[in-house]
Amino acid sequence: MTGRSQRHFRFFATATLVLGLTLPARAELPVIDNSAIAQLLNQLKTAEQQYQELVASYNQLKATYQALAQLTNINSIATELKQPWIQNPAPDTTLLPGILNGLSPPSMLGGNLANLAQQYLGQNRVYQPKGTDFEAGRLNASANSTAEIEAVATQNLQALQARATALTKIQDQLDSASTIQQVASIQARLAAEQNYVQIQTAQAENFRILAAARTETEDQAQQQAERQSEEQGIQAACSALAQLGSKSQECQ
């Protein structure tokens, strides 16, 4: 090998050594863990589902709040039920004695009751006694009492009929109710009106008992009047016999 060739050989050998030392080593490929990736994907799906559930819960709570916050005006429905004679068709208890004994004229009842009682009195009456004796007074009192009792019963029936019609109007509002508050308000109004019905029914039953007692009282009054007449007749006869100087066992 010539000197020139030796120099070339040494040059290439040195360059090869230098390049071998300076070039980076070949990188190793990473190991892929498929199970870890699948687990991560499942975690992401679970998190997404939980988020969607939270959004749905929030929207539901928001809708509930808006429903509860919305104002209702259910009392504007069936305003006819606010009339006093419908809310409480029974007469004041202070008027009951005059109604039952007939000593109070129909005009004393006032309002719708007075008008009804006056109508019944005119319809029922065949003749009005003019005398001031007991029997005449009893006939007039009985006519007043009968007319006034009929008026009370009629007004109670009118109130129940009006309430039945109005309850249908209120119940129909449930078909158009769109919020929880609206439904709750309608149900509360219906419950209140039903309580009125129960009170009216109890009042009517109590008044029926009083009216029945009035009939018994009239029978007792008739018996007492007959007994009074008999005793007065006996007393007059005994007085006449005493003037004649005669006596009777019934006068003892």
Report domain extents, the chain.
78-226
DSSP string across 56-89: HHHHHHHHHHHHHHS---GGGSSGGGGSHHHH--
158-207 pLDDT, tens digit each: 988 888 888 888 878 877 777 777 788 888 888 888 888 888 888 888 88
CB atoms within 10 A of CB 237: 13
Q: Is the pTM of this model over 0.75?
A: no
Q: What is the dihedral of CA 91, 92, 93, 98, to 10 degrees?
A: -70
* Residue 199 near residue 160, CB atoms below 8 Å: no
* Residue 183 near residue 177, CB atoms below 8 Å: yes
Highest mean pLDDT among 52-56, 98-102, 218-222, 239-243: 98-102
Residue 42: what pLDDT? 73
